[in-house]
């Protein structure tokens, strides 16, 4: 709720997003705006706006990135775009409420599902490194003719957003990092290597109860679980139980492996644009905690100190605690 009010408050001062129309065919990929099946790449979750596809060729294979493109509902601020990047246990659709608010504030809003996630394709032989995910988002925006945007990312999406800001500083109007991952170097702190196959084994058995237990412990630490959170757990559980559940579990293993090796903390001093960092004091999310010795696990995910430490590294920063 706090995220929404902060976004509302700052929307008034966001400026200068430029949208142009791509007229000529683009070699990077193509946009498909036709009919898509309800069950797309293993996810049948209902999305409130039409699902479009960015079809492109990458790492020697054909890929399809699902996204929603929500027009600004208020015309006076035409020309501004916001891109909402989802967390690892979420999908673009999780940002729907925020998208509605941004649309009402005059933003065109793009909500992609990252490659490997949700309604996007789930390549099994693919480098899911964070730069690649940022590049994929940039390719989508390029094909859509968007050369400037406000980039907003949550959790894993915050890590991708920060990487995006480092890779494309001239294309980012402002950066919003909402409980981003990567504010600590898990491996340097002692998280041992867990093979991709072992991570897969732990992922492929996920179901509604195990996912809810994880989310309650990690994202809602000592807070009350609300019934409206269930839908996001069900969305995820249905992917695991769906026709690409095994592929999805393997993608999660590859993604975990990639994220562990790419904490963004070391590069935060290089972020040039106005950056908003929002951190939940009670958040305890940390990659590798589950398979680390207790002495290591105890050192991970202390956002009450990670937040201010990261804030001190970002040159052009506005910091806020989340309720
Ligand atoms: C869900 O997964 C957990 C852990 O793997 C398991 O103990 C439990 O029996 C599963 N529940 C259902 C309903 O399948
Ligand atoms: C909530 O969690 C934080 C961080 O672990 C802790 O400092 C605080 O005491 C907890 N509050 C309650 C009411 O349990």
Q: What is the pLDDT at residue 78?
A: 64
Q: What is the pLDDT at residue 19?
A: 41
Answer yes or no: is pLDDT of 91 > 50. yes
CA 238 to ligand 1 centroid distance, Å: 14
Answer yes or no: is pLDDT of 14 > 80. no
**pTM tops 0.85, yes or no:** yes
Q: Is the CB of 213 under 6 A from ligand 1?
A: no
Nearest CA to ligand 2 atom 9: 222
Q: How confident is the model at residue 319 (pLDDT cuts 50, 70, 90)?
A: confident
Closest ligand 1 atom, CA of 209?
Answer: 1
Q: Is the CB of 222 under 6 A from ligand 2?
A: yes
Per-residue pLDDT reduced to its tens digit, 50-84: 999 999 999 999 999 999 999 999 775 568 999 99
Nearest bound ligand to the CA of residue 304: 2
Q: What is the pLDDT at residue 323?
A: 62
Per-residue pLDDT reduced to its tens digit, 242-290: 999 999 999 999 999 999 999 999 999 999 999 999 999 888 999 999 9
Answer whether 113's CB lies under 8 Å from 91's CB: yes
Domains of the chain: 3-322 (3.40.50.1820)
Q: Is the CB of 207 under 6 A from ligand 1?
A: yes
Q: Is the CB of 210 under 6 A from ligand 1?
A: yes
Per-residue pLDDT reduced to its tens digit, 97-117: 999 999 999 999 999 999 999
- Rounded mean pLDDT of the chain? 92
């Amino acid at each position: 709720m706090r995220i929404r009010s902060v976004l509302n408050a700052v929307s008034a001062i966001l400026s200068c997003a430029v949208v142009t129309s791509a007229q000529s065919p683009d070699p990077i990929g193509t946009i498909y705006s036709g009919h898509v099946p309800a069950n797309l790449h293993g996810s049948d979750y209902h999305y409130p706006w039409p699902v479009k596809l960015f079809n492109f060729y990458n790492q020697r294979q054909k890929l399809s990135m699902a996204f929603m493109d929500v027009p600004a509902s208020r015309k006076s601020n035409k020309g501004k775009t916001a891109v909402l990047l989802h967390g690892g246990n979420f999908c673009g659709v999780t940002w729907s409420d925020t998208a509605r608010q941004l649309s009402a504030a005059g933003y065109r809003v793009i909500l992609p599902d990252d490659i490997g996630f949700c309604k996007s394709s789930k390549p099994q032989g693919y480098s899911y490194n964070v730069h690649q995910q940022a590049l994929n988002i940039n390719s989508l925006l390029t094909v859509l003719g968007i050369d400037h945007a406000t980039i907003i990312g949550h959790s894993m999406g915050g890590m991708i957003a920060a990487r995006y800001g480092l890779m494309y500083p001239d294309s980012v109007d402002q950066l919003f990092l909402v409980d981003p991952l990567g504010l600590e170097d898990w491996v340097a702190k002692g998280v041992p290597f867990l093979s991709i196959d072992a991570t897969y084994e732990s992922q492929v058995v996920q179901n509604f109860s195990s996912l809810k237990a994880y989310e309650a412990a990690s994202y809602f630490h000592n807070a009350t679980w609300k019934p409206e959170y269930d839908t996001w757990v069900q969305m995820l559980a249905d992917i695991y139980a769906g026709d690409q559940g095994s592929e999805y579990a393997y993608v999660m293993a590859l993604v975990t492996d990639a994220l562990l090796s790419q904490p963004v903390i070391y590069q935060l001093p290089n972020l040039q644009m106005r950056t908003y960092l929002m951190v939940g004091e009670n958040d305890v999310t940390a990659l590798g905690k589950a398979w680390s010795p207790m002495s290591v696990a105890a050192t991970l995910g202390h956002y009450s100190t990670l937040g201010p430490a990261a804030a001190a590294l970002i040159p052009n920063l506005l910091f806020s605690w989340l309720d």
